[in-house]
Every structure is written in structure tokens, then in C-alpha cells.
Amino acid sequence: MDIVEDVHDGEEESLGNDDHFAGNEDEIRSRQKLNSVATITNLRFQPITSSRFFIPLCRMVAMPMLRPTLASDLAKLEQEFVHGYREGASVFYVTTTNEDGKTMEVTEADKASWGPIWNAKNAVFNSFLLSNPDLAGFTNLFFFVCDGNHRRQAWLNHIDRLHRTDEDWHYLVDSILLDTNGKVGLVMQVMHDINK
């Protein structure tokens, strides 16, 4: 009889421990999000005051290794974009280096494929970059998207199909520049955490 009672007591203790862990899921998630926020802050291009600015969609390229692009996601995001870009919407996290630590320059072929409106937006953007000594080195570089690949592609598809000649639809979008060179694994983890 004592043995049965001891086993029963042990089971209750074990269940109590499971309840303890289950009750702390929100706390664990909060800590994980806080760690992600701190990590993103540490990854931001320095000086941090120069790390947030508006980038033309044409100057962004996908970094699909972080999250593959799905057709169903694109269709949904394009549907949500029918009224255009809303300032204050989700920020794009970008970097100037891909997963191999390489940059990608804008070529004459890229400019030829954009058309006159994107080229005009690109020229204004380059002037902005040149006006800031911290950003001047990025004047003719593409920005790789760490978070926002689906939005970028859906919005470009929509603009190209329905608003190719409408200057107001060729948007510069709110972006935060990260320094990810040699830190791709960390970036992947953080972007996964913030998208949960």
C-alpha cells in the first residue's frame, strides 16, 4: 500500500512539473521575442540613426533562403495591396550582402528593365544615399530582403501588371538596414522568431 501511494505521489509531482512548464510558455515566448529584438538592434547598421530609410522596391532583391516564396502567399498579399502602400505598415529588414556575404551592383541591364518611372525613383534614391556619408557607399547596390520577400514580390507583381505607368504606385518603402555579413545563421533564427 505504501508503494502505491509513493508512486501516486510521484505522478502528481511529475504532473505539477509539466503544469509549471506549460504555464510558462508565454514567458518563454516573451523572452525569445525580447532576445530577437535585442539581436536585431545589435545587427542594425551603424550608426543606428542611419539604418532606417525608404528604399524603392526596384532596388530590393529577394533572399529566398530565409523563407521560400509561395504562390498562395503572394496572391493574398497582392489582394491586400489593391489600395497601395500604407506608410507605417510592416518594415522591411534588408542587408547589402547575400547569404554568401557578396554585394550585387545595379547594372545598366537592370535599369533598362525597370522603365522610366523606376529609373527616376532610383535616381532620387541614389541622391539621398550620396547626401549621407554613412550610406554613400551603397549608391549602386541592391538591398537583399531578410524579412518582407513575399510583400516585395506581391507588390511588384501588382504594380507591374496594373500600375506600370502610374508614378504614385512606384513606392519607396520603410526599411531597416542590417549588417548581416558572416551572421546569416543568426539572421535566419531572428527572422523566424519575429514571424512566429
For residue 31, is pLDDT > 90?
A: no
C-alpha to C-alpha distance for 114 and 59, rounded to whole angstroms: 10
- pLDDT value at residue 3: 40
C-beta separation of 107 from 61 below 8 A: no
Q: Is 102 exposed, middle or buried (0-12, 13-18, 19+ CB in 10 A)?
A: exposed
Question: pTM here?
Answer: 0.77
For residue 18, is pLDDT > 60?
A: no
Q: Around Cβ 7, how many Cβ atoms within 10 Å?
A: 10
Q: Around Cβ 71, how many Cβ atoms within 10 Å?
A: 7
Q: Around Cβ 60, how many Cβ atoms within 10 Å?
A: 23
- pLDDT value at residue 7: 39
For residue 136, is pLDDT > 50?
A: yes
- pLDDT value at residue 53: 98
Q: Is 150 exposed, middle or buried (0-12, 13-18, 19+ CB in 10 A)?
A: buried
pLDDT digits (tens, 9 = 90+) for 123-132: 999 999 999 9
- pLDDT value at residue 8: 40
With bands split at pLDDT 50, 70 and 90, how would you rate the model's confidence at 27? low
With bands split at pLDDT 50, 70 and 90, how would you rate the model's confidence at 26? low
Average pLDDT over residues 7-24: 44
Average pLDDT, whole number, for the chain? 81
For residue 195, is pLDDT > 70?
A: no
For residue 13, is pLDDT > 70?
A: no
With bands split at pLDDT 50, 70 and 90, how would you rate the model's confidence at 184? confident
> Which of 16-20, 33-37, 82-86 has the lowest average pLDDT?
16-20
C-beta separation of 129 from 176 below 8 A: no
For residue 154, is pLDDT > 80?
A: yes
Average pLDDT over residues 143-166: 92
With bands split at pLDDT 50, 70 and 90, how would you rate the model's confidence at 89? confident
